[in-house]
Every structure is written in C-alpha cells, then in structure tokens.
Chains A and B, each alone.
Chain A
Amino acid sequence: MKKVMMGNHALSYGAMLSRSQVIAAYPITPQTQVVELLSEMCADGTLDARFIKVESEHSAMAACIGASVAGARTFTATSAQGLALMHEMLHWASGGRHPVVMGNINRSMAPGWSIWTDQNDSLSERDTGWMQYYCASNQEVLDTVIQAFKVSEALMIPGMVVLDAFALSHTYEVVDVPDQAAVDKYLPPFKPEIRLTPNDPRAFGGLTGAEHYMELRYKLQKDMEKAPALIEETGREFEKMFGRNLGLVDAYKCDDAEFVFVTSGTAGFTARVAVDELRRSGVKAGNLRIKVFRPFPFAKVREILKKVKKAAVVDRNCSYGAHGIFFQEVKSALYGEPGTPPVFGYIAGLGGRDITTDSFKEVAAHALAKDRADEEIVWIGVKK
C-alpha cells in the first residue's frame, strides 16, 4: 500500500510493522511525530505494545534496556540533546548486548539552540558500539527500521536509524508500506537465548575483572565484523520480498567515474543531481553515498574508490581539532592500498544550512583544480 508520509512517520510505521513490544521515549523537536503516532497506534490497538512515557531520554534508554533484557522487542527515538543525554546508556545497551533499535533525527547540538540538521549528535556516539544507518528517503527509513531489527537481533547489538532533521523528518514522500504478513515472514519474533527471568536466575553485568572484560568487548567487535555481510544478505532478502535493496552503500554512476563525491544522508541525493550536471559538462562524476557508518564498510568503500582518480568527501559534521568524520574514515579505508586517489575533505551544511547542487559544484571545482589534497579542511559556504 502506498502512503504519503513524513520521515518521522516512516520511523513509526517501521516500528509498528516490526511489532515492537515496548517503546519508551521522550519528546524532542524534530522527533515528536515519531512518538505521537506510536502512542496513537498503541492506544487504538494498531500496535500491541507498551508505551512507557518516561521523564527523560536517559530513562527512555534505561527502560528500553530493561525491556529488552526481559525478552521484548524494543524501540525508541530521539535527537541531539536527547541522544547526548542517553550517552551512558548507549554504552550500556551495546555492552549488555541488548538489540534495541532507535531512530535518531540528526539535529545540531546546542549552544546556540538549533533544531536544524547536522550529524554531530549521532557521530559523537560513534564509539558506543551501536550500528548506525544513515537514510536518504522516507522509504529507506521505514525499510531500514525493519532490517535493523533483523540484524540487531541476530548479532545482539543495538542499531540506530538516522535521518536528517526536516529534510527528511518533516518532508512528505510517497512510501510503499509493506504488507504486515510479509514483514512477519522477514522478521520473526524476538526470541533471545538468555533473558532476565526467575526461571533461569542469572546476574547480568556484574563486577567484571580484567580477566573477563576484554573478552566481552572482543566478542562485541567480532560480532560487529559480521555485520557488513549480514546487512548485505538481509538487504538482498529484503529485495527479494519487497523489491528494494538495502545495502551498505549506494553507489551512483561510480562504475566509470573518475571523480566521486562521498556523501551521507539526504545530501547524498542532492549530490546525484550535481553528478548528472557534471556529466553533462564532460566530467565523469559519481556519488558514493555511505549508508552504514557503523560498522564502517571499509572493503566496499575501498573497492569503489580505488578505481577513481579523485574523491571528495562532503561532511555535515566536524570533529573539532581533526577533520570531517566521514573524511577520516574514508582515508583510513584507503590507507595502505596501492594506487589510491587523493581524497579531499569538505565541511558543509552545519546547523541546517542547505547543501545544494551549487555546493557540490563548488566542491567539484575546488577538487578538480588541484592535484594534491594538501589543505586539511575546506569549508563550503562559510562566511569567514
């Protein structure tokens, strides 16, 4: 069934079709519609779930963790300040191996107060042990929530589905809502091997000495390493059932490209328009939109970029004192590989400033004019 819906509602529909059993969430702009629709769905029985209206995001994630360890499929959604407030609990969810799935609407961190998009909120949670998926359309948001549950529950690692504030969260698009029976087939009920129950009294997460802790984290990393293949496999399975592939990256006209933008989120779709325009003016351009940021698809990125002459990473984020964050990852993906192209790093669109096709043309003009990527960061559209 096709429906016109905002990105936030695509998250709600994803959580509903996945048959989330416990939802605990706290409102924050621009996430509110996610939880509003889910409360309605719980109230009118469309969704058989318990909605816990907690008093903070910290409690939201704590309650999700509690519900998850008790054996329930669990969902929440937040943004920016809310995500930052959850930080301690994000480590708890992954360290405890609780496959909570969460929507995060990318919003800039205050101060000054901003409700508009950039990626510093979710990317600040890079090392918490969560999988992170960056979406570029409402369809992808809905589909990814369902896939994220499947992957997270197989690996017992939580997953974060990320979408741009307003550019997706509040933008209406046509979304194909999959059939519930088909989703049930794709995503069977959550049945964890071990759970918190008096029938099998165990202590979870107690004092862990140096002789055990490292092995627990080693296993987390080893399971993360299984995720890229699993994401591709479940993506193909999804395509067979629903006609849409969900992969690690979305490579647009990269096969014969000499110059490739590396992007994420909705800017990745804007970049396609710029690619087409560049191609009309004779530049063999392409766009590599990175969909999965954690685990980072190193092999895939290497495979695509080693064939091109130049790559320009456009980051909607900044790791202050270092670089754009995708820029760092892309460089490390290519490091040590013979014959890799120069990689140029750009920062654009912080605090919700638009990233337009002109922004990409400015990036292209800069990168194409240079032989070496010798400037650390180039800021696009900034008033200096």
Chain B
Amino acid sequence: MKKDKKMTLTLPAEELMACGHLACQGCGAALAMRYMLKALGQKTVLCIPACCWAVIDGPYPYSSLDVPIYHCAFETAASTATGVKAGLEMTGDAETTVVAWAGDGGTFDIGLQALSGAAERNDDIIYVCYDNEAYMNTGIQRSSATPYGAWTTTTPVKHFKTQPKKDIVAILAAHRVPYIATASVSHPEDFFKKMKKAKDIKGTRFFHVYAPCPTGWKSRPEDTVKLARMAVQNAYFPLLEIEDGEKYTLNLKLKDKKPVNDYVRIQGRFRHLTDEQIGSIQAEVDARWERLLKLSV
C-alpha cells in the first residue's frame, strides 16, 4: 500500500464565505471573494455596487459572507468606501479594512470617475475589480474590459468587439497610488500574499483580479481555473505589482510564454474568430508583454 501523501494547506482554513451563495457553477468571481476574505479576515467591510456579486451574496435578509456588506449604487464603489472609511474612523474604528468590490463594468466604465477621485485623494481603501470582461449581471453586454474579438449580446458575432481592452492598470498607475496588483483565481497563494501585503499599506490599493465566467464566456464550468491559469501563462493576464505607480514587478517571468490560441479556442465567445484574428490578439498580447518587461527592469 502506498503511503498517504500529506499536503500543507498554505491558505488559512477559516472560511468567511459560506456555501449557499447564488453564483453560477464555476464562477471565478466567487473564488476571488473567498480568497480575498481569507487574506483580510473578519475585520473587513465590503462596499459592493451593482454587479453579479450584488446577487451572489444572497437576497435580503440573507448573506453568505461573515463580514458586513453595504450594497451601493453601481458607480459608487469607491466613493461609498471612502465615506465608510471616514465614518468608521470618526466613530473610533481606525482598524477595519474597507474594501470596494466591483466588477469590470463598475470599474472600467461607470465607476471610473469615482475610482479616479478616490485614487487621486489616495483614500485609505482597497479597491478590487473582479474582471469577467463584460456586464454579466445584466446578461453579458460589452464593457470596456471586453477584449478584442469577443462576442457579447451587444457585440454580436457579425459585429464582435473590435477595440482592445482598456488598460485599467496603466490608468491606476498614472494616479501613482501606493500599490497595484493583478491576481488570478488560478493562483490563490499569489493573490493571498498580495492581499496580505496590501492590507498593511496605507492609501488606495488597487487589485485587478481575473475571474473567468463560464456563463458569459461560453466556457465549461470545470475549465474556470484552467482558463485563468492559461491566461497567466500566455501573458494574456500577467501577474504583476506596481508600487507608487512606478516600480513594476512581474511575478511570473514566463520563460516559455504559451501562445494564446488554445486559450481562445476553448471559449465559445471567441468561436467565430479566424486564425488571422487570433493572430492579432497574439500580437496585442506580445506587445503589452514587451512593454511590461521594459517597465519591470
């Protein structure tokens, strides 16, 4: 008989997210929340605007999370969080971490102004954007985080999205906030470590978290982690940190960077793309990767 192999649990076993939440099977956004809360712990307050997560935590009077949540208006994740932080401090609680937790629509589009305001003031909040690359809550419409080539209900196959994804990390870097990190649900330890680090920094901290969405991407629920890992390994979604808007660190050096083709081909939202069109996605990914390599020396 083989001896039992022992695995060390590198993340705390304590769960602040209970089962019974309302996410779809294989939801990347649900994983992202679970990992973040493991890092931040109980002394955390969440401000969640309209997005899938406004529903996932459960209908009134239930909640699947063991931390308080304020459900705020779509474009107000950052400004609400700023107010909560000020309110807590003025009533004697300087300790609690205040998190704005928003989707890509609430971050790249309608909430960008409020986010920019908070970042410029360097308000003491952690802003997390879980990115599923479209407005999923309202039924898969394009956002400015939707990548080139993707089908959504407002970018039908005949008119798929021809503009590239907005570079939100560069926008935040231009605000020179003290800490920016990208993370992926395929790399929970990396995410956990960065979140722990962010917790002890003062000022605006921004996370861009890759969160595949089987419902919106027309991918298989069991492929969520695999897709997220592929996106990291082919540099479609590089893992990085930026300190003070200047100091770039690439967390994975990617010696043998994989082509994007396999990643694209297993998602229904890209099914219509020709090899040539996938080639242009590859070119865009390569160019951004080169840029990041230069920035991170």
Once bound together, how far apart are the Cα atoms of A198 and B82, in whole Å? 17
* Interface residue? B133 (CB, 8 A): no
* Interface residue? B167 (CB, 8 A): no
Once bound together, how far apart are the Cα atoms of A24 and B117, in whole Å? 12
Q: Is B114 in contact with A55, judged by CB distance below 8 angstroms? A: yes
Provide the residues of chain B in CB contact with A62, threshold 8 Å: 72-73, 76, 79-80, 83, 114
Q: Is B80 in contact with A71, judged by CB distance below 8 angstroms? A: no
* Interface residue? B9 (CB, 8 A): no
Q: Is A197 in contact with B75, judged by CB distance below 8 angstroms? A: no
B292 to chain A, nearest CB (A): 29
Pick the residue among B62, B65, B79, B89 that contacts A59 (CB under 8 A). Answer: B79
B80 to chain A, nearest CB (A): 4
Contacts A70-B83, A208-B60 given: A50-B42 contact, CB under 8 Å? no
B178 to chain A, nearest CB (A): 19
* Interface residue? A205 (CB, 8 A): yes
Provide the residues of chain A in CB contact with B84, threshold 8 Å: 66-67, 69-70, 196
Once bound together, how far apart are the Cα atoms of A52 and B79, in whole Å? 10
B194 to chain A, nearest CB (A): 22
* Interface residue? B128 (CB, 8 A): no
Tell me which of A60, A64, A201, A203 has the highest count of chain B C-beta atoms within 10 A of its own C-beta. Answer: A203
Q: Is A66 in contact with B57, judged by CB distance below 8 angstroms? A: no
Pick the residue among A64, A89, A206 that contacts B73 (CB under 8 A). Answer: A89
Q: Is A197 in contact with B96, judged by CB distance below 8 angstroms? A: yes
Q: Which one of B43-51, B151-159, B258-266 is at the interface? A: B43-51
B172 to chain A, nearest CB (A): 15
* Interface residue? A283 (CB, 8 A): no
Once bound together, how far apart are the Cα atoms of A22 and B60, in whole Å? 28
Chain A residues bordering chain B, tally (CB within 8 A): 43
Q: Is A74 in contact with B59, judged by CB distance below 8 angstroms? A: no
Closest to B58 in A: A206
Q: Is A50 in contact with B57, judged by CB distance below 8 angstroms? A: no
B218 to chain A, nearest CB (A): 25
Provide the residues of chain B in CB contact with A206, threshold 8 Å: 54, 57-60, 62-63, 69, 71
Q: Mark A101-116, 1 if CB is under 8 A from B, else 0.
A: 0000000000000000
Once bound together, how far apart are the Cα atoms of A351 and B90, in whole Å? 40
A103 to chain B, nearest CB (A): 18
Provide the residues of chain B in CB contact with A56, threshold 8 Å: 113-114, 117
Provide the residues of chain B in CB contact with A70, threshold 8 Å: 45, 83-88, 90-91, 93
Once bound together, how far apart are the Cα atoms of A64 and B71, in whole Å? 14
Which residues of A175-203 are within 8 A (CB) of B?
195-198, 200-203
Contacts A22-B87, A69-B84 given: A203-B71 contact, CB under 8 Å? yes
Provide the residues of chain B in CB contact with A67, threshold 8 Å: 83-84, 86-87, 90
B233 to chain A, nearest CB (A): 37
Provide the residues of chain A in CB contact with B69, threshold 8 Å: 202-204, 206
Chain B residues bordering chain A, tally (CB within 8 A): 48
Q: Is B91 in contact with A21, judged by CB distance below 8 angstroms? A: yes
Provide the residues of chain B in CB contact with A212, threshold 8 Å: 60-61
Provide the residues of chain B in CB contact with A64, threshold 8 Å: 83
Tell me which of A22, A70, A208 has the highest count of chain B C-beta atoms within 10 A of its own C-beta. Answer: A70
Closest to A72 in B: B87
B117 to chain A, nearest CB (A): 3
Pick the residue among A52, A59, A69, A74 that contacts B76 (CB under 8 A). Answer: A59
* Interface residue? A58 (CB, 8 A): yes
* Interface residue? B68 (CB, 8 A): yes
* Interface residue? B215 (CB, 8 A): no
Contacts A55-B113, A203-B60 given: A198-B86 contact, CB under 8 Å? no
Q: Is A63 in contact with B60, judged by CB distance below 8 angstroms? A: no
Provide the residues of chain B in CB contact with A54, threshold 8 Å: 79, 82, 117
Q: Mark B103-116, 1 if CB is under 8 A from A, else 0.
A: 00000000001101
Counting from the closest, the 6 A-B pairs by CB-CB distance are A66-B83, A70-B87, A55-B117, A63-B83, A67-B87, A59-B79
B interface, CB within 8 angstroms of A: 42-45, 47, 54-55, 57-63, 65-73, 75-76, 78-91, 93, 96, 113-114, 116-117, 120-121, 123
A interface, CB within 8 angstroms of B: 21-22, 24, 49-50, 52-56, 58-60, 62-72, 74, 88-89, 92, 195-198, 200-209, 212
Task: List 15 interface pairs A-B (beta carbons < 8 Å), by A numbering.
Answer: A22-B86, A22-B90, A59-B82, A63-B79, A63-B86, A67-B90, A69-B87, A71-B88, A74-B87, A92-B73, A198-B67, A203-B65, A203-B68, A206-B63, A208-B59
User: Besides the contacts A56-B114, A59-B82, A63-B86, what 18 more A-B pairs have beta carbons closer than 8 Å?
Assistant: A24-B83, A24-B86, A50-B89, A52-B123, A55-B116, A59-B113, A66-B81, A70-B45, A70-B83, A74-B87, A196-B70, A198-B45, A200-B68, A203-B57, A203-B60, A207-B58, A207-B59, A209-B60
